[in-house]
Amino acid sequence: MLTSLFTGVSGLNANMTALSIIGNNIANMNTIGFKSSRASFADVLSQSINGIAGSSQVGLGVSLSSVTPVFTQGAFETTNSGLDMAIDGDGFFSLRDSSGALFYSRAGQFNMDKDGYIVNPEGYILRGYQADSSGNLSGTVGDLQLSSASVPPNATTSVDLVANLNSDSDVKGFVFTAGSNEDIRFSDDGGTTYYTADLISDGGLVAGTAYTGSQVAAAIKTAMEAANGTADTYTVTYTATTGQFTITNDSGNSGSLILAWDNALTTAETILGFNAVSSGSIAAGSSDASDNTAGQFFVNSADDSSNFSTTITVYDSLGNDHQITVYFRKSTVSATGNTWQWYAVVGSSESTSGSTEVQAQGTLTFSTGGALSSESAITYPTGGFDFSGGPTQNQTISFDFGTSILEGGTGVAGVTQYGQNSAIFDQTQDGYSSGSLQGISVDATGTLTGIFSNGRTRSMGQIILADFANPTALSLMGKNLYAESTSSGEELVGAPGSSGRGSIHSNALELSTVDVAEEFVKMISAQRGFQANSRIITTTDEILSELVNLKR
């Protein structure tokens, strides 16, 4: 008869434990990453009346078989912290405490401590694959530390340009220097008497100033007629599209004209496009045209001696930014395709010498279809780029104008020469200044990417997720932590998204999986169970009282 008392007591204990589990679930309904638990009960067999058959066995109540966490997926809450993370699927964050003990959690509330380690609110360090200064991940699991607060500068090594140069552009650039390229030696009587026409003193040009071809043509006429006392007159024209001059011995002149380009006193033949040989006898009414395209680029009158320009920012070895202006000048017109010259100019305030200099240059040749067919080798007149401020000198910067895809391929990239306005469509360079860490982003694979003040990004590490053969057997350690047990099996770590592990959601937290409505139903059930078992005890007590009263 006393057995029924203990049976009732076991029922009271079991249902009170169930209420404790329910209470714990409800208490943690707002705990990040919390997984609700459920109680499992089992009956207790204690005695047999007549053998071992089921009809002759009497139980002794109920016992708590297990308390099992239910690892269902929780809903996500969006946050404004990049280090808040939620696991979508299986797996646990792996954490280490100061003593080296390992713990696991579904709660992804992390921040960075004073040493750059990623830690949870209790200071436990998040583990994963650390990246080196180049962003390469190691293959060894360790503490994740974002200790690199800055990225070093990277000097520019290449510039890529996508542009169109107007095929209808004039050949430009005529600059004369006294004692250098300003004289024309000629005879107007078939070679008996020679004159020297000075384009500066006689033609009215100013040394060091860039002129158009038509302005130079007028100066040639003025200088030649001034040199011979206007005894004969000349017509000088310039064809802008070809860059060629034509000098005509006017029909009213009495003698033949000889242009003595081969004379040592003649210095202007190169800039005017004539070969350094005598033109021969040019009768009245006849003319002689430039043998080559005329003109040049003059750095101190760069705008006047070029057709188009673009400015791009590059960086030196110290991360200082500098402005390079790339000038394009149409230099040759040919039936097989035109040629352009380009000049990378560094201003006086940016160059070590303190002077405006061409520090790189080359030639672009286009096909008759407007595609870039070839590039000359880049030359560096100063040996390389010499920027002020103390960086490495003779910095080599390559310029890519897009000859890798030529006409007739899948398309035309880089610089083209079509009959439309010159324009830059895209320009890029690979240098950057130093930058400090401004923020962290995390992708679905757990890769931590640092965002720096100079606009650069770099991989800083990768979070790992731990999985277990039997995660329900993990030991609960409080503070949203689990620990490995003999029944759970050893941790199996890997990158998120690999081998069945879940993925990572950044700027999110996994909410508790507690269903309050379900817990209230379980609470009612446990309460009824407790009340019923208490009735067993009171009923047994009354019977025992009757039994004692039999003696009276």
Residue 537 binned pLDDT confidence (cut-offs 50, 70, 90) = confident
Q: What is the pLDDT of residues 484-506, one digit of tens each?
A: 999 999 999 999 999 999 999 99
Mean pLDDT of 337-359: 94
467 inside domain: yes
- Domain membership flag for residue 296: no
67 and 81 share one domain: no
370 and 471 within one domain: no
Do 500 and 448 belong to one domain?
yes
How far is 237 from 252, CA to CA, in rounded Å?
A: 18
Percent of the chain with pLDDT over 70: 95
Judge contact between 145 and 138, C-beta under 8 A.
no
Q: Is residue 297 part of a domain?
A: no
What is the number of domains present in the chain? 4
Sign (positive or negative) of CA dihedral 152, 158, 163, 166: positive
Task: Look over the chain and give the mean of its residue pLDDT values, rounded to a whole number.
Answer: 89
pLDDT of 405 above 50: no
Q: What number is the average pLDDT over the span 119-125?
A: 95
In this structure, are 183 and 262 located in the same domain? yes
Tell me whether residue 302 is in a domain: no
Per the model's pLDDT, the better-predicted residue between 60 and 519 turns out to be 519
| Residues whose CB is less than 8 angstroms from the CB of residue 408 and which lie 6 or more positions away in sequence, other chains included | 371
Is 351 part of a structural domain of the chain?
yes
Q: Are residues 183 and 83 in the same domain?
A: no
Dump pLDDT digits (tens) for 223-275.
999 999 888 999 999 987 778 899 999 999 989 999 999 988 889 998 898 98
Please state whether the predicted TM-score (pTM) of the whole model is above 0.85. Answer: no
- pLDDT reading at 10 higher than 90: no
- As a whole number, mean pLDDT of residues 42-62 equals 69
The region that residue 381 occupies, defined by phi over 0 for left and psi between -120 and 50 for alpha, beta otherwise, is alpha
- Which pLDDT does position 240 carry in this prediction? 78
pLDDT at 413 over 70: no
Same domain, 100 and 63: no
Residue 397 lies in a domain: yes
Q: Do 424 and 533 have their domain in common?
A: no
Reported confidence tier of residue 395, pLDDT bands at 50, 70, 90:
very high
**Does the pLDDT at position 528 exceed 70?**
yes
User: Residue 20's domain spans which residues?
Assistant: 2-72+517-549
> What are the two backbone dihedrals, phi and then psi, of residue 85, each rounded to the nearest 5 degrees?
-135, 145
The enclosing domain of 374 has a CATH number of: 2.60.98
Q: Give me the torsion for CA of 50, 55, 57, 62, rounded to 10°.
A: -170
Rounded Cα–Cα distance for residues 327 and 304 (Å): 11
Would the pLDDT of 311 be above 50? yes
Domain identity same for 219 and 162: no
Name the one residue in this structure whose structure tokens are 């057995």.
3
How many CA atoms lie less than 13 Å away from 340 in the CB half-sphere? 32
Is 92 in the same domain as 205? no
For the chain, the maximum distance between any two Cα atoms, rounded to a whole number of angstroms, is: 171
State whether the Cα torsion 212-218-221-223 is positive or negative. negative
Residue 364, class by beta-carbon neighbours within 10 Å (0-12 exposed, 13-18 middle, 19+ buried)?
A: buried
Residue 452's Cβ-side half-sphere holds a number of Cα atoms within 13 Å equal to: 18
Residues 334-342 have a mean pLDDT of 89
- Give a yes or no: residue 299 inside a domain: no
Give, as one character, the DSSP assignment of residue 304: T
Instruction: For the chain, state the CA radius of gyration.
Output: 45
Q: CB count, 10 Å around CB of 336? A: 10
Which DSSP state fits 109?
Answer: B
Residues 405 and 506 in one domain: no
pLDDT digits (tens, 9 = 90+) for 176-203: 889 989 999 999 998 999 999 999 999 9
Tell me, yes or no, whether 146 and 163 share the same domain. Answer: no
Residue 186's nearest CA partner among 194, 198, 178, 176 is 194
How many residues does the structure list for the chain? 552
Residues 277, 329, single domain; the answer is no
